[in-house]
Amino acid sequence: MIDVHCHLNFKAFENDYDEVIKRALKKGLELMIVTGTSIESSKKAVELAQKYKEIYAIIGIHPHHADKVENGWDTEIEQLAKMSKVVGIGEVGMDYYSYKSNGVTDPKLQRKIFEKQIEISIENKIPLQIHGRHAGKDIIEIISQYKNQLLEIPGMFHCFAGNLPYLKKVLNMGFYIGFDGNITYEGLAPGEDTALSDLVKYAPLDRLVTETDSPYLTPIPYRWQK
């Protein structure tokens, strides 16, 4: 089994990532794909991929960080995309959720950063790993602009949420789908209209990928354990 989206590059693991990786391998996990959300965490993901043969990296700027990039960010992403063991551009996308730390990042900026990274993915022929939250309509509209170029290996939507029509559109465009431990949480997450435990049933098995988004979204019954 492969974890196609985790954040061993995050602060939560700075003291024990080696232990966590070894424990996961011992439990039977074969490969881990570590995803970046900024230049810094993307570089860290590449470092981990260089250090462990069972780790690969996905690099990119998360939409929530679209207002924090500095000039030349795109050149850095382009360079990282060419490194060995980098297997995707992510997590990239659109996110209209209002975070406690700084609310919603300017959608225009999010779009600019997302589009540039879609272009980098196409140029380097490596798939996208898309993060979307409450922004399904705009994500579909943006990706549709690149429909013909994305046909061969579009990539995947990570931590999928939304509703059935949205899921169908994403599947029709050739994307794979990842769900996380939050499919075990009861009730609806704020702003959602379809329970994840229902939605997951409509994703065909041959289009599903396994992911954790660790250190986040621990499934029930382990959710609040340390």
Q: How far is the CB of 136 from Zn ion (least distance, A)?
A: 14
Among 41, 131, 160, 214, binds Zn ion (CB under 5 A): 131
202 CB neighbour count, 10 Å cutoff? 13
CA separation (Å) from 147 to 68, 103, 142, 180? Answer: 28, 31, 9, 27
* Stretch near Zn ion under the rule CB under 5 A, chosen from 114-122, 130-138, 189-197, 218-226: 130-138
Size of the site for Zn ion (CB under 5 A): 4
* Stretch near Zn ion under the rule CB under 5 A, chosen from 9-17, 48-56, 128-136, 203-211: 128-136
Q: How far is the CB of 133 from Zn ion (least distance, A)?
A: 8
* Stretch near Zn ion under the rule CB under 5 A, chosen from 38-46, 135-143, 156-164, 183-191: 156-164
Helix (H, G, I), strand (E, B) or coil at 151: coil
Q: How far is the CB of 128 from Zn ion (least distance, A)?
A: 13
Report DSSP state, residue 113. H
- The nearer residue to Zn ion, 37 or 69, going by C-beta atoms, is 37
- Residue closest to Zn ion (Cβ): 131
Distance CA 93, CA 166 (A): 15
**For the window 65-104, what string marks contact with Zn ion as x by the rule CB under 5 A?**
--------------------------x-------------
Tokens at 67, concatenated? 């207002």
- The nearer residue to Zn ion, 93 or 154, going by C-beta atoms, is 93
The contacts of residue 60 (CB under 8 Å, 6+ apart) are 35, 36, 37, 42, 77, 89, 90, 91, 92, 117, 129
Of 194, 63, 68, the C-alpha closest to 128 is 63
Tokens at 197, concatenated? 């435990």
Q: How far is the CB of 211 from Zn ion (least distance, A)?
A: 8
**For the window 186-215, what string marks contact with Zn ion as x by the rule CB under 5 A?**
---------------------------x--
Chain positions 18 to 57 lying near Zn ion, rule: CB under 5 A, are none
Tokens at 54, concatenated? 């069972």
Residue 64 near residue 36 (C-beta atoms within 8 A): no
Q: How far is the CB of 148 from Zn ion (least distance, A)?
A: 26
Q: How far is the CB of 32 from Zn ion (least distance, A)?
A: 13
Distance CA 131, CA 7 (A): 14
Residue 173 near residue 190 (C-beta atoms within 8 A): no
Contact residues for Zn ion, defined by CB under 5 A: 91, 131, 159, 213
